[in-house]
Structure 1
Amino acid sequence: MTDPKKLAIKDFVYELPDERIAKFPLPERDQSKLLEYRHGQISDHTFTELPSLLPQYTLLVFNDTKVVQARLLFQKETGGVVEIFCLEPIAPHREVQMAMQQTGSSTWKCLVGNNKRWKSGPVTLEFEGGTIRAEREAQQEGHFLIRFTWEPAELTFAEVLERCGKLPLPPYLNRELTPEDHTRYQTIYANQKGAVAAPTAGLHFTDRVMDKLEEKGVEKAYLTLHVGAGTFKPVKADTMEAHEMHAEQLFISRQFLMRLLKQLASDKPVIPVGTTSMRSLESLYWLGAKVSQHPDLSLQELHVTQWQAYESSDIPTATEAITALLQYMERQNTEYLHAITQIIIAPGYTFRICNGLVTNFHQPESTLLLLVSALIGDNWRKVYQHALKNDYRFLSYGDSSLLLP
């Protein structure tokens, strides 16, 4: 078995010309190309054909996170602009869902542009019907802790961002926001506010495709993983051992776990839409493995670490793991689970829940490419060469693929 810690990121390089990066979305979401990889064979389709290509009785799992307008442009008294990009909440709540409902003030971990020009004191930003103030509380490695206070104090932080924030487009698009991005950089089923990047595999779905899925008998289920800016973090270490995987917040309902358990028990396929859904599903397995070993774990200790999947000796079946998680929820008397995951899915990983993947084409030397390679092995090169030769569009606004190993 491959030791993922020893993987060299230079082995996951391919030539991606700038003109192959989709800078803008297509006029119609579901008219993107769809590359199907099935048992080693590649074929070309349009995304509207996805329902007919999925295996019978598939449960398709979507990430319903919603991108928030996390970029705030503050004006200094001298006229200069300080850009603050909210990454994750710190106080009074670390849970994204609760932090979004916070009123009056909140502290967030942030990236700050033009920080050197921000000498001291707070900066303010006026918006329709109110103002927000930002003060630096501390500087930490690569980021700042920023305390926000706003008036009117009864507004939630979600409402404040809605009124004065800007949508954070992926850095590689390298362009200004357009009005179109406000709808097109969200999935049509986006529901839970908290992501700073879209789960882009879902951007191709339209009502028309959703109706076709229903006709085909493909069932749908929704979980929430709030995508962090770490999804764009390049791997700078020579080997994966030295790369720290970003942590993301996962929210799961008891109802979702019951549906998943039914699917697993009947041995029918589970296919995630996007790498975030896949990481969530596989994280659920490892959370279940953890609570079956440590039944008294507190809710605050629900954390899948980067290498847990490769270091565990106690390996329950998928149904045992999900059952253990449901029993844990019962003991904790909760309908929802909030957990942190840093799972890294790389060659050498054994999939416990997922049988395939719907995903876009990812950046060279990225952890997302490692995930694709974990699923289809070295054939990822064949898939990407085919996509490059056949005019597929790459990255967030690019085309799609259905990978069935």
Structure 2
Amino acid sequence: MDHTPLNLEDFRYELPEHLIAQTPLGDRSGSRLLVRHADGALQHSMFRHLPEHLPAGTLLLYNDSRVLPGRLLGQTPHGGRLELMLLRPLTGPGHRWEALGRPLRKLPEGSTIQLASGCVATVERRHQDAAQPYLEVSFNLEHEAFFDWMEKEGYIPLPPYIARPDAQSAPASPDRDRYQTIYANERGSVAAPTAGLHFDETMWKALREAGVETAPVTLHVGGGTFLPVKTSALDAHVMHRETYRLSRKTFAAIERAQAEKRPIVAVGTTTLRCLESFALRMREQGAEGLWDQWQDTQLFLYPRHKHDLYRPWAIHGLMTNFHQPESSLLMLVSALVGYENMQSIYREALAQGYRFLSYGDTSLLWLPD
């Protein structure tokens, strides 16, 4: 058995530019679906046929986080262009956020950013030594007034591989609705949990009619999801921080499904990270008092060797889109299905011309027996 550690280069593959989906399909459920069965067989299907691939009684867990229009465009008092990407609100006095800023050289501590409609941001602190350098910024609008302003003046924080030559604020952007799941509820993400973008109301109804149970979790996707892994040694990578919550009601649904030996499927890697982060804490201190509480996670799941398989707490299958080369998401998929299996899945998806990344096609991966 090969015990050579996997490194970053082992997760490199050639992704043709024409396979990177730049726009969503006209029909949310019109995407293709690549099914990996537990025995390793691959099947080509369509997302609209998803109920046929989920046994009656399946518990489908999904991330109900809502994307904020948290990309803010502004200028210095002297007219220089500035941009902020909000990451997460901070507790304490005033209305403050963690944010990415560019160009950083124009954003010293104490500087101000003039935003639309009289909103002003002030750089309170710079965190240069962090794995992902960020700012603490305060705003002259409080809480709900700020969220109302952001919905009118903010921009949808699309991934850098989706080109939009003429940026439009959220109300005018065609991405406002399509870069949001139909079940988005808890505001706080800077990127969509994209495996859920394929669901529409018709599919949700079809799943219920097929006897599929659904339950939400919440994980607010952080800006670090756009950052590549840069260290060749995977154990040297510092994962970005995200906030999650698992409700007592969803926890009870998971326990029922486990007791009744029904399959559980996670919609997206963010749902899986929420579940596994909760499970790790639960093993340390028990579930009592953990549910319904916001927690932070920097969980990084990856295979250390080609033969490694990660056994998750609850799920038997994962729905997920096709991910970037050398990304932590690709490594997570490899940990669940196995490194060689991941390579086979991606070779097949590339050969068959599947659309990749956020607005692309999707897969249903049943975990190995």
Tell me the TM-score normalized by structure 2. Answer: 0.90
Structure 1 Cα separation of the partners of residues 143 and 40 of structure 2: 56
Q: How many residues align?
A: 352
Aligned residue type for 1:400: T
The alpha carbon displacement at 1:75 in A equals 2.0
Residue 66 of structure 1: CA displacement?
A: 0.4
The aligned counterpart of 2:329 is 368
Other-structure match for 2:293: 337
Deviations 1:49-95 (CA, angstroms, capped at 9, x unpaired): 001111331100000000001111112233221101112233328xx
Q: Secondary structure at the match of 1:60?
A: strand
Q: Residue 66 of structure 1: SS of its match in structure 2?
A: strand
Q: Which amino acid aligns with 2:352?
A: N
Separation (CA, whole Å) in 2 of partners of 1:154 and 1:395: 33
Moved more, 184-193 or 6-15: 6-15
Q: Which secondary structure state, in structure 1, belongs to the residue aligned with residue 152 of structure 2? A: helix
Contact residue 63 and residue 267 of structure 2 kept, 8 A: yes
Tell me what 2:317 maps to. Answer: 356
* 351-360 or 111-120: bigger deviation: 111-120
- Cα shift at 1:221: 0.2
Summarize the Cα distance change of 1:404–1:118 in structure 2 as closer, same or farther, 3 Å threshold: closer
1:280-299 equivalence runs, <5 A: 280-291=274-285
- The one-letter code of the counterpart of 1:209 is M
Amino acid of the structure 2 residue aligned with 1:363: Q
Alpha-carbon distance change, 277 to 121 in structure 1, aligned in 2, over 3 angstroms: closer
- 8 Å contact 2:66–2:186 — kept in the other structure? yes
The within-5 A match list for 1:263-342 is 263-291=257-285, 324-325=286-287, 327-329=288-290, 336-342=292-298
Deviates more, 1:185-194 or 1:175-184: 175-184
Equivalent position of 2:27 in the other structure: 28
- Look up the match of 2:136: 146
1:379 Cα deviation (Å)?
1.2
- Which residue pairs with 1:309 in the alignment? none
Deviation at 1:28, TM superposition (A): 0.8
Q: Distance in 1 between matches of 2:330 and 2:6?
A: 12
Do the aligned partners of residues 143 and 109 (structure 1) sit closer, same or farther apart at CA in structure 2, a change above 3 Å counting? farther
Task: Answer yes or no: is 1:175 the counterpart of 2:137.
Answer: no
Q: How do residues 3-14 of structure 1 correspond to structure 2 at under 5 angstroms?
A: 6-14=5-13
- Give the conservation status (yes or no) of the 8 Å contact 2:244–2:294: yes
The amino acid that maps onto 2:50 is L
8 Å contact kept, 1:109–1:143: no
Contact 2:302 2:332 in 1 (8 A): yes
* Corresponding position of 1:161: 150
Distance 1:138 1:376 in 2: 40
**Shift, 1:154, TM fit:** 6.8
Q: Which residue of 1 aligns with 2:178?
A: 184
User: Does structure 1 residue 215 correspond to structure 2 residue 209?
Assistant: yes
**If the length of structure 1 is used for normalisation, what is the TM-score?**
0.82
Residue 227 of structure 2 aligns with which residue?
233
Name the counterpart of 2:358: 396
Cα shift at 1:115: 2.9
CA gap of 1:9–1:58, structure 2 versus 1, over 3 A, is: same
Instruction: Give secondary structure in 2 for the equivalent of 1:19.
Output: helix
Deviates more, 1:256-265 or 1:193-202: 256-265
C-alpha separation in 2, matches of 1:137 and 1:376: 42
The answer on 1:66 being equivalent to 2:28 is: no
- C-alpha separation between the residues in 2 aligned to 1:209 and 1:163? 30
The letter of the residue matching 2:250 is F
Q: Which residue matches 2:91?
A: 91
- CA shift at 1:7, angstroms? 2.7
Cα distance between partner residues in 2 of 1:367 and 1:154? 33
Alignment-mate amino acid for residue 45 of structure 1: S
Whole-angstrom distance in 1 between the partners of 2:143 and 2:296: 29
- SS of alignment partner, residue 34 of structure 2: strand
Deviations 1:89-117 (A, max 9, x none): 33328xxxxxxxxxxx3222221112324
Deviations 1:26-47 (A, max 9, x none): 1111000011111211111111
% identical equivalent positions: 41
Q: What per-residue deviation string (whole Å, max 9, x for no partner) do you get for residues 182-232 of structure 1?
A: 000000100110000000000000111111101110000001000011112
Alpha-carbon shift at residue 2 of structure 1 (Å): 8.8
Q: What is the RMSD of the two structures over their aligned residues, measured on CA atoms?
A: 2.1
1:346 corresponds to which letter in structure 2?
Y
Alpha-carbon distance, 1:118 to partner: 4.6
**Partner-residue secondary structure (3-state), 1:85:** strand
Secondary structure in structure 2 of the residue aligned to 1:36: strand
Query: Which residue number in structure 2 is paired with residue 122 of structure 1?
Result: 112
- Give the equivalent residue in structure 2 for 1:200: 194
Shift of the 393–148 alpha-carbon distance from structure 1 to 2, 3 Å rule, reads: same
Q: What CA distance in whole angstroms lies between the structure 1 residues aligned with 2:22 and 2:259? A: 43
Structure 2 stretches lacking a partner, 5+ long? none
Q: Which whole-Å CA distance do the structure 2 matches of 1:133 and 1:243 have between them? A: 31
Name which of structure 1's ranges 115-124 and 34-43 shifts more when overlaid on structure 2: 115-124
* CA distance in 2: counterparts of 1:231 and 1:147, whole angstroms: 21
Do the aligned residues in 1 keep the contact of 2:89 with 2:97 (CA within 8 Å)?
A: yes
Q: Which amino acid aligns with 2:152?
A: R
Q: In 1, distance between residues paired with 2:187 and 2:264?
A: 25
1:337 CA displacement: 1.5
Whichever residue aligns with residue 289 of structure 1, its letter is R
